[in-house]
Amino acid sequence: MGTSGTRVGERLRAIRRQKGLSLHDVEAKSELEFKASVLGAYERGERAISVPRLLRLAEIYDVPADQLLPREADIEINLTEAGAEILDAEGGFTIDLVRLHELDDPDAQVLSRYASTIQLQRQDFNGRLLTIRRDDLRVLAAVLGRSPEELGVRLSQLGLRAGA
Q: How many CA atoms does the CB half-sphere of 82 hold within 13 Å? A: 11
User: What pLDDT band is residue 23 in, cutting at 50, 70 and 90?
Assistant: very high
Show the domains of the chain with their CATH numbers: 3-68 (1.10.260.40), 81-157 (1.10.10.1930)
Nearest CA among 58, 56, 46, 62 for reference residue 1: 46
pTM of the model: 0.48
Report the mean per-residue pLDDT for the chain: 76
The whole-angstrom separation of Cα 119 and Cα 136 is 12
3-state SS, residue 2: coil
pLDDT in tens, 39-86: 999 998 888 888 888 889 988 998 888 777 765 433 333 333 334 444
pLDDT higher than 80, residue 93: no
